[in-house]
Structure 1
Amino acid sequence: MARRARPTGRPRVLLLTSSPLDGTEGSDVRLASDVLDALPDMDFVWFTPWPGHRQDPPRRGHPVRFLSRDGVPQRAQTALAGAVLARRVDLVHAFLSVGRAFPVYSWLRPLFLGGRPVVHTVPGVAEPRLLARSRPLGTTVALSESMARRLRAADYGDVRVIPPMIDPDAWPYLPRPKGYPVVLFAGHHDPRGGAEASIDAAAEAWHEGARFRLVLAMRARHGQHPGMLNEALRERAGAAGLPDVEVRGHVEDMRTLLASIHVLLFPPEVLGCKAGIPLPVLRSLATGRPAILSDLPQFADFGHAVLRAPAGDARRTGQQLAWLLDQPRSWDVLAERGRALVEDHFGPERFAARYGALYRELLS
């Protein structure tokens, strides 16, 4: 039986994220914000911190405030607030990675989410063993075919694949920058997350004769000490004989940074809870910046638009970097392939059509 529509004629949808929707940069928040922008015919409810608010709040929907101070566990608050709001909406759309707390949450799904239909977009999985301990929240959405296969193997039932989106107009294709080459790694201070591997690979490329500056744009997670972690990266670069390294904190203006670089280096050994289709990679490809990635299964969807090397193989990754910096024609080919891939497979129209069809299916 169809659910009764709201007085506005639009179904009400709760965007359930682990942190407030306005101003944060996590993969779950980014995906939720993109869904909000892509589906104007839905009446969305989302979380915002109190007191005050963060930068660039969404212009649509209904923000729900909850107390947010340093040290307060936001995930617990959003779970409790979601339990109340889930009874007042027509559909719940959860954007939750499968982390340590997820198995318990999934088994308590009736308590937290009631009987409303649920879409669960899975940005990432911290550890494969957690899938065996969990239950699906509803219709599950994976970002890649690789993740979908893992979820189906874990008995997640109805799993759809909807890749994340990037607006090509917001990230225009740029010509190759002139001057001294710059290589970028952008990511978190996660074990085996790619920062150390990027330094080791860059050192290999330097010893091969390539000359460039390595920029590490690092984001710290809650509870980490970014100053100490950044200094450890500088020390690693010095010990590896890599002389030209810049370690930055979180970069607000990523467009300007991408305009200045020649290559994105992203060679994690494990993704953990990071998105299976990382946003820095999509942004890099959209702007025409070739990427060198590790050969994780999640990256197979990028096909021949990127270069890939065995995860943990600094020598091979460094050789690819040295080769690419010395081959302007190959650089141009990869830049064009990357842009075409973004337009064909990660555009906003395709994203909106798939989520819109899924919403209509579950609401009818």
Structure 2
Amino acid sequence: MTVGPRPPRVLLLTGSPLDGADGADVALARDVLGALPDMDFLWFRQWPARRGRPPPPAGRAIRLWTPGGSPHGRPVVLQATLAGAVAARRADLVHAFVTVGQAFPAFSWLRPLMLGARPVVHTVPGVDEARLLARTRPLGTTVALSESMARRLRAAHFGDVRVIPPMIRLSEWPFLPRPGGVPTVLYAGRLDPRGGVVTAVEAAAEAARSGAEFRLVLAVHGRPGQHTAALREELRERAGSGGLTDVEVRGRVDDMRALLASTHVLLFPPPVAGGTLDIPLTVLQALATGRPAVLSDLPQFADFGDAVLRAPAGDARRTGQQLAWLLEQPRVWDMLAERGRAAVEESFGPERFADRYGALYRELLA
């Protein structure tokens, strides 16, 4: 896989540095960088260096000034856009990891000016709102994370859409035995209703009213500009008014492996498709470690088949009933734990991920 005497040079175009953020675009870009060692990658790094994820050990960094120590925000996105436009001229291939959000339609129409004539791969982590697709042009060859997202993009005239699910390094997320003690139910996601946290609290209250005993942990992270302290306090009040007495509301999780080790069930019921990663990495991590999941019955979750429990999106009552039933059925818990691990091994392993992206790169670079 070469272009001339040197390795192909690939620009990883993300909205924030690879060493300072936890976003879906960053996670996917880091995985691609690690999966294809024969590429000469260009990627964004925060400056000055601050605490965060360690920088990738391969490729070459393009520094972005991160004012106030934040790897997010408009100043960083603007720098990434301008730096990407310059770096694209030195690349053989541009690989963009960009959610279809409010600013994406304008960027898509400026694609020839910003990225030149280089071939472009656009991995779509998610679509914030379906109406945005009607105002958007494809950047190049599009990669969806699920078959359901691929159908939505093709219907919006995105043309060449491939499906490459996200990956999880199975060696880093080993299958764990069921923990003892009072069951812990975990929600991990966005601090807003579209992320499913409100439905999760209401579903947990429904399960508690039916007699289920458990501890609820809400690991929630906010978006830039949100008043996270006030929103977390609102969640505590909502949980208390619903009759939940053992509730922990926390922010960013520094050690998800340790949290999942103490978790019995992942509760992730977003009411709508959009506003989050199409296939959330937290769901893959939970299933890999043998933690059954109760999810919304959204199209992208159909790929998990009978490895998870699903309830109608936005239906807190039915979701709570599913949760209570699972907590009362240890044999079902064991069965789902094994199915979840098998589903991740079959469809979300690193070898399959590397093979598919490697084949796509070879096709476009040829």
| TM-score normalized by the length of structure 1 | 0.97
**Aligned partner of 1:336: which letter?**
E
Counterpart of 1:224 (choices 223, 226, 231) is 226
Separation in 2, partners of 1:117, 1:190? 36
Summarize deviations over 1:55-90 as a string: whole Å, max 9, x none. 311100000002111365221111111100001010
SS across alignment from 2:41: strand
Q: Is the 8 A contact 2:267 2:293 kept in 1?
A: yes
Separation in 2, partners of 1:51, 1:176? 43
SS across alignment from 2:99: coil
SS across alignment from 2:28: helix
Counterpart of 1:46 (choices 19, 43, 55) is 43
Moved more, 172-181 or 69-78: 69-78
| Residue in 2 that maps onto 1:188 | 190
SS across alignment from 1:163: coil
Counterpart of 1:202 (choices 204, 216, 231) is 204
**Aligned partner of 1:360: which letter?**
R
Moved more, 140-149 or 242-251: 242-251
Q: Is the 8 A contact 2:11 2:88 kept in 1?
A: yes
Q: Is the 8 A contact 2:193 2:199 kept in 1?
A: no
**Aligned partner of 2:358: which letter?**
G
**2:59 equivalent to 1:57:** no
Q: Is the 8 A contact 1:3 1:90 kept in 2?
A: no
How far residue 337 of structure 1 moved from its aligned partner, in angstroms, is 0.3
Summarize deviations over 1:61-120 as a string: whole Å, max 9, x none. 000002111365221111111100001010000000000000000000001110000000
Summarize deviations over 1:271-306 as a string: whole Å, max 9, x none. 423111000000000000000000111111111100
Q: Is the 8 A contact 1:171 1:255 kept in 2?
A: yes
Moved more, 82-91 or 66-75: 66-75
CA distance 1:146–1:72, shift in 2 (3 Å): closer
**2:314 equivalent to 1:312:** yes
State the 4+ residue runs in structure 1 displaced beyond 6 angstroms: none
1:8-47 → structure 2 map (5 Å cutoff)? 9-47=6-44
SS across alignment from 1:192: helix
How far residue 241 of structure 1 moved from its aligned partner, in angstroms, is 1.1
| Residue in 1 that maps onto 2:67 | 69
Summarize deviations over 1:176-220 as a string: whole Å, max 9, x none. 111110000000112331111111000000000000000000111
Q: Is the 8 A contact 1:143 1:163 kept in 2?
A: yes
1:258-277 → structure 2 map (5 Å cutoff)? 258-277=260-279
| Residue in 2 that maps onto 1:86 | 88
**Aligned partner of 1:50: which letter?**
W
Q: Is the 8 A contact 1:200 1:240 kept in 2?
A: yes
1:90-239 → structure 2 map (5 Å cutoff)? 90-239=92-241
Q: Is the 8 A contact 2:222 2:228 kept in 1?
A: yes
**Aligned partner of 1:191: which letter?**
P
Separation in 1, partners of 2:261, 2:90? 45
CA distance 1:345–1:3, shift in 2 (3 Å): closer
Q: Is the 8 A contact 1:98 1:125 kept in 2?
A: yes
Q: Is the 8 A contact 1:98 1:273 kept in 2?
A: no
Q: Is the 8 A contact 2:7 2:39 kept in 1?
A: yes
Q: Is the 8 A contact 2:141 2:160 kept in 1?
A: yes
**Aligned partner of 1:157: which letter?**
G
1:310-349 → structure 2 map (5 Å cutoff)? 310-349=312-351
**Aligned partner of 1:315: which letter?**
R
Q: Is the 8 A contact 2:272 2:314 kept in 1?
A: no
Q: How many residues are aligned here?
A: 361
Separation in 2, partners of 1:142, 1:258? 27
How far residue 31 of structure 1 moved from its aligned partner, in angstroms, is 0.3
SS across alignment from 1:197: helix
Separation in 2, partners of 1:67, 1:203? 45
Q: Is the 8 A contact 1:14 1:85 kept in 2?
A: yes
**Aligned partner of 1:339: which letter?**
R
Q: Is the 8 A contact 1:97 1:273 kept in 2?
A: no
- List runs of 5+ in structure 2 lacking aligned partners: none
Q: Is the 8 A contact 1:123 1:273 kept in 2?
A: no
How far residue 36 of structure 1 moved from its aligned partner, in angstroms, is 0.3
| TM-score normalized by the length of structure 2 | 0.97
Separation in 2, partners of 1:33, 1:346? 15
**Aligned partner of 1:164: which letter?**
P
Separation in 2, partners of 1:302, 1:156? 25
How far residue 23 of structure 1 moved from its aligned partner, in angstroms, is 3.1
- List runs of 5+ in structure 1 lacking aligned partners: none
How far residue 224 of structure 1 moved from its aligned partner, in angstroms, is 1.2
